[in-house]
Structure 1
Amino acid sequence: MSGTDSPWKVYTRLLGFARPYRGLLLLAGVGMLLEAGAGGAFAKLMESVVDETFIKRDEAKSLLLPAYIVGLFVIRGVAGYITDMGMGKAARSIARDFRVEVLGKYLRLPGLRFDTEPVPSMLVRLGSDSDQVAQAAVDAMKVMIQQSLQVVAMLAVMLYTSWQVTIAILLMAPPLAWMMDRVAKRYRRISHRIQESGAEMMQAADQTLSNQQEVKIYGAQRTELKRYAGLADTNLKLAMKVEATRSISSAMVQLMGAVGLALLLFFAGREAMAGRLTAGGFVSLMVSMMAIIPALKQLTNVQNMLQRGVASAQRLFTVLDADDEQDHGTRPLERAKGVIEFRDITARYPGQSRPALKGINFTARPGTVTAIVGRSGSGKSTLIKLIPRFYEAESGQILLDGHPLQDYRLADLRRQIALVGQQVMLFDGTVAANVAYGELQGAQAGAMEEAVRGANAMEFVSELPEGLHAPIGHKGGRLSGGQRQRLAIARAMLKDAPILILDEATAALDNESERLVQNALQKLMPDRTTLVIAHRLSTIEHADQVLVLDQGHLVEQGTHGELLARGGLYAHLYQMQFREGEAG
């Protein structure tokens, strides 16, 4: 969906999400009809109240009429409850559906999407955008239908009572419709900007709070607060523009209502003098007119909710309409041998003139360790991310067991890979739930314990009050960096995949933690095809081959000893780290 799609096209697509809740909406519609009918009946009843009670002084009818009024308001109350519950359940259900569908879509999008859209922006779409969409799809529709039915019912009463007076008052309709159209366009324009502003605020707050230690150490509290305050001021100005638009439009509706009342008095007076309108008829017209004015005011105010929701829907539809990861493979793959071959691979990030990788050729075989080294920005992480197809190569081929990666289904391909990164993914659950994660959930307790023991994690897990069933906190916050890393290794051991990718798995650890993690990794590596991004070159001295990258090019390839003897870039990097180690 393009951002230029008309609001009506967006809204009609939005209503498609309400289709599963047609029964609830139909019930709510019946409630609204009853509510409007009861309101119209009350307005018409006022004619009898005035004429029969105060003018004709009919005692029998004067006793019945109050009972009719109570009965009408009981009907109206029950109908209102049915409407609110039906519409409310539908609206909240649509918000739930949107959240689930958008999160599912994000999980199907290519890795590049996560490089271009920050996570806080994704959270805004899952949070406030989904709520706004539910309001637009159902809550706004409720107000529009409810108040429109109210207006129609009251107009019917007015036409029945005196069509001459009603037609004279309807001359106000065209200027009112023109004004509401202008208000709608302004709301839509501002709503887009408010949503973007909200995402920027969340992103700024996320960066500041996530990095609160650096902010405090470098005394940047005032700078960060000033930046956030600037974004908040922009958001406030946009919000005030919405409030001003709403206030002015409401005032204009009320002014037009006052003019309408004045016209009502003028024309009703003429009809009364001509003997065509009774006092009761005038009161009925007046009550109907007084009910129409707040209904029109609410119809004007609903523009804000509707336009904000349409703006949110456009943002959500851009996610839902994005292309999924390409997954056209059909070749079956139970368990790979693990022979990985890069043939003249070139990869480029969108919008970048220089490729991230250029002409990469190498083969990694089962039972061997391939280390990937190079300066920061040389393309190491990009190369690794091509294997699970988080990124796609621009040209060349990557083969697994002699067949291009694209020949296999994505799920089958990724089932062959275990990943241990520098940033360990843990969630707020137990040790066991984090080790037996995803497709590993059905693992036997014995296999899980063996994996935890093999990862050198049992020493700290056994000390936790509930052992394997102990909660580890948000993102594993109750554990140290080394402990988190060992749980990630336990997860990889339990997966028992033929390909193991280690992305600087020990870069951020102290010496003792690094020793424990390295020992665990030694148990994990045998008989697998292991690829290691190495930060500390001393940890890859026993690698079967070392690939040295520089600015996206594979500049050297060989064993640790061969590359040192060659005296090239690898030897230079190694000597620099060796000196740093001695200095430390």
Structure 2
Amino acid sequence: MIQPFDTDGVPGTQPRPSTYRRLLAYVWTLWPAFAISIVGFVLYALTQSAFASLMQYLPNAFDTMPASQRQLSDWELSLGLDTAEGIRLFLPIALVTIVAFREIGSYLGGYYITFVARNVVYQLRQDLFMHLTRLPVSFFANHNSSEIIAVITFNVEQVTSATSNAIKTLIREGLTVAALLGYLFYVNWKLSLLFLAVAPLIGLIITFTSKRFKKYSQRIQTSVGGLTQVVSEVTRGLLVMRSFGGEDYERERFSRHNSYSLTQDLKLARANEISLPIIQLLTFVSLAVLFWLGLDPTLRAGMDEGQFLSYVTAASLVAKPLRQLTSVNAGIQRGLAAAESVFEILDENLETNNGLERLSGLRGDVEFRNLSFSYQKDGKPVLKQINLKINAGETVALVGRSGAGKSTLVNLVAGFIPAPVGTLFIDRVPEEEIQLDSLRRHVAVVNQQTVLFETSIENNIAYGELRSSSREAVEQAAAQANALEFIRRLPDGLDTSLDEDGADLSGGQRQRLAIARAFLKEAPILILDEATSALDSQSEQLVQASLQTLSDYRTTLIIAHRLSTIENADRVVVMDDGQIIETGTHRELLSADGYYAQLYHRQFNTGATAEME
């Protein structure tokens, strides 16, 4: 699991400070936009206290009310605020001016904080995907693909809650509360201290609910990964599901994950909605006490009616931003929980590549020297004392039951798995001394599971570093794989766009496109892991003829479950339980009447396929 947690309680570890710092590091690269947003929010906040301060002039605007005894400043006198007529002219103009500045501040703050947030999400996705493409194969073997997809799509988007909506509210409303409190202390610090008496209680409530928000947010993210997994498996295995009547089972599985997600969403909402009314109640209780005490002349400290009205107005305006501040906590915790799952992947160690040598003019000699290998440290060896030398241009077939270690052996050659030091040599150079990208550039692989992309056939054959190949070279590779004939029958030929994973092609056609991709690479080492398993007999014969021609100048490693496809191999290596137990030509091994001969006769005498990879 990418985001493990205890489903019965709060996760065992609290958010590391580095999570906050790392998010801020992304924000810091956009500091000009962030600074503009802060300026906008400061302007917005100041207009709130400015609006409250207008209320002090309101009583004097009525001719029937006694004039304020407060000494007016020079700027107030210059605006005529010592007369009712002057106040009546000043208040509407001041109100419109304040609102205008408020909306300018709202735009600057809102747009530029969103600009920062969306760029943070963009950069997180970029970094995450770039990191994924450089992780070792073992990471993907140990992590569910649906969980990885959920982190990139759902979890990263949740970071927006902590970097956009939540931060927007936190800064804007936080500055607004600060500005209003500053004004309250400026007018009457004694009453303001009483108003702040509820602050510790509010802090305790926020601290408690933050833990709940974090726990439920982690559960929601995990449930999304489960939903993604079910949908992915159903779409890929639709025919199997319908053939074996698995509809009810899959519906029940999806409903279970969906119900769990709903439960966590409602728990999050309940925690949020309970905390908000309590905080609001405490705020207005404090405000009510403030009204009562404010009428006491000893606490008013000489405030006239206008000043008291502006003070009460400012205190009342605190309630709304304070409510928004408390409600934003859920979004922040959701975003931080998502950020932790993102950084967890970003903290995964990259594929080690300490080699410095770049291959040039590779012949294709491959040698294993006393190679033993296990996937887990101190785990059961998958390969045991493998000693095998394969000459350049030689075609070697690997035969054995499932789990014998054949695929592991060829994955070591391809550089997908690091071999133990000093056990694998390519053209007499230890593999650990070769740069991985250089090694892989000289190895072409066709796996048992064909992978095609949702693009044109030409782009599928000329994939990756082969994109610069000419049209003629692509056609030649397709012809070598016996794919050109069916390609030409398609409406747009090589320009025909394929559906997801080439679903609009037959299994044999998809396999031949994958083989054509390997032919186009013209690598000196060719690995065919069940490469002809999906071909019909006629296509298989044609491809085998092409492979026979290619083997004259390529080192070819073949894993095949149909022994008829390897009869022309230069050598057959028989493996069992991670060891080489027989080696020789097809005829030599049949004459020896050993393990290989038993497999061969069992397969052809029964007309069934022996249990092999």
TM exceeds 0.5?
yes
Q: Given the alignment, which residue of 364, 374, 380 partners 2:390?
A: 364
Q: Given the alignment, which residue of 427, 438, 442 partners 1:416?
A: 442
CA deviation vs aligned residue, 1:242-262 (integer Å, no higher than 9, x gap)? 111101110111111121111
State the partner residue of 1:23. Answer: 32
Q: Contact conserved, 1:388 with 1:414, CA < 8 A, in 2?
A: yes
Q: Contact conserved, 1:169 with 1:264, CA < 8 A, in 2?
A: yes
CA deviation vs aligned residue, 1:114-156 (integer Å, no higher than 9, x gap)? 1100111110111111112233234322221111101011112
Summarize the alignment of residues 478-557 of structure 1 with structure 2, pairs less than 5 Å apart.
Answer: 478-557=504-583
Secondary structure in 2 matching 1:86: helix
Q: Contact conserved, 1:11 with 1:137, CA < 8 A, in 2?
A: no
Q: Given the alignment, which residue of 40, 47, 54 partners 2:49?
A: 40
CA deviation vs aligned residue, 1:101-126 (integer Å, no higher than 9, x gap)? 11111111111111100111110111
Q: Contact conserved, 1:344 with 1:395, CA < 8 A, in 2?
A: no
State the partner residue of 2:18. Answer: 9
Distance 2:37 2:344 in 1: 31
State the partner residue of 1:346. Answer: 372
2:151 is aligned with 1:125: yes
State the partner residue of 1:563. Answer: 589
Distance 1:573 1:525 in 2: 25
Change in Cα spacing, 1:280 to 1:521, as seen in structure 2 (3 Å) is: farther
Distance 1:583 1:471 in 2: 35
Q: Which has the higher helix share?
A: 1
Summarize the alignment of residues 88-127 of structure 1 with structure 2, pairs less than 5 Å apart.
Answer: 88-127=114-153
Summarize the alignment of residues 42-81 of structure 1 with structure 2, pairs less than 5 Å apart.
Answer: 42-53=51-62, 55=65, 56=67, 58-81=84-107
Q: Given the alignment, which residue of 577, 589, 601 partners 1:575?
A: 601
Q: Contact conserved, 1:341 with 1:399, CA < 8 A, in 2?
A: yes
Query: Which deviates more, 518-527 or 552-561?
Result: 518-527
Quote the offset at 1:28 in angstroms.
0.7
Q: Contact conserved, 2:478 with 2:516, CA < 8 A, in 1?
A: yes
Secondary structure in 1 matching 2:353: coil
Quote the offset at 1:63 in angstroms.
2.6
Quote the offset at 1:516 in angstroms.
4.0
What are the ranges of 5 or more consecutive residues in structure 2 without an aligned counterpart?
A: 4-11, 68-82
Query: Which deviates more, 565-574 or 167-176?
Result: 565-574
AA matched with 1:10: T
Quote the offset at 1:448 in angstroms.
2.2
Change in Cα spacing, 1:275 to 1:83, as seen in structure 2 (3 Å) is: closer
* RMSD after superposition: 2.2
AA matched with 1:562: E
Q: Given the alignment, which residue of 204, 216, 232 partners 1:190?
A: 216
Quote the offset at 1:315 in angstroms.
1.2
AA matched with 2:402: S
Quote the offset at 1:381 in angstroms.
1.2
State the partner residue of 1:387. Answer: 413
Change in Cα spacing, 1:466 to 1:486, as seen in structure 2 (3 Å) is: same
AA matched with 2:407: S
Q: Contact conserved, 1:346 with 1:395, CA < 8 A, in 2?
A: no
Distance 1:563 1:51 in 2: 112
CA deviation vs aligned residue, 1:16-53 (integer Å, no higher than 9, x gap)? 11122111111111111111111111111122234434
Query: Which deviates more, 318-327 or 520-529?
Result: 520-529
Quote the offset at 1:519 in angstroms.
3.8
Distance 2:23 2:165 in 1: 13
Distance 1:102 1:183 in 2: 30
Change in Cα spacing, 1:542 to 1:448, as seen in structure 2 (3 Å) is: same
Change in Cα spacing, 1:255 to 1:565, as seen in structure 2 (3 Å) is: same
Change in Cα spacing, 1:174 to 1:379, as seen in structure 2 (3 Å) is: same
What are the ranges of 5 or more consecutive residues in structure 1 without an aligned counterpart?
A: none
CA deviation vs aligned residue, 1:366-417 (integer Å, no higher than 9, x gap)? 2211111111122111111111221123566110000111111111010000
TM-score of the two chains, using structure 1 as the length reference: 0.95
Change in Cα spacing, 1:524 to 1:4, as seen in structure 2 (3 Å) is: farther
Distance 1:582 1:420 in 2: 24
2:193 is aligned with 1:167: yes
Q: Given the alignment, which residue of 461, 474, 491 partners 2:487?
A: 461
Change in Cα spacing, 1:376 to 1:63, as seen in structure 2 (3 Å) is: same
State the partner residue of 2:80. Answer: none
State the partner residue of 2:361. Answer: 335
Quote the offset at 1:271 in angstroms.
3.7
Secondary structure in 1 matching 2:392: coil
Identity %: 36
Q: Given the alignment, which residue of 312, 326, 339 partners 1:300?
A: 326
Distance 2:59 2:152 in 1: 55
State the partner residue of 2:227. Answer: 201
State the partner residue of 2:8. Answer: none
Distance 1:274 1:358 in 2: 89
Q: Contact conserved, 1:545 with 1:558, CA < 8 A, in 2?
A: yes
Secondary structure in 2 matching 1:366: coil
Quote the offset at 1:446 in angstroms.
2.4
Secondary structure in 1 matching 2:423: strand
2:491 is aligned with 1:449: no
Q: Given the alignment, which residue of 292, 308, 324 partners 1:282?
A: 308
Secondary structure in 1 matching 2:532: coil
Secondary structure in 2 matching 1:25: helix
Q: Contact conserved, 1:372 with 1:546, CA < 8 A, in 2?
A: yes
Quote the offset at 1:272 in angstroms.
8.5
Distance 1:520 1:47 in 2: 94
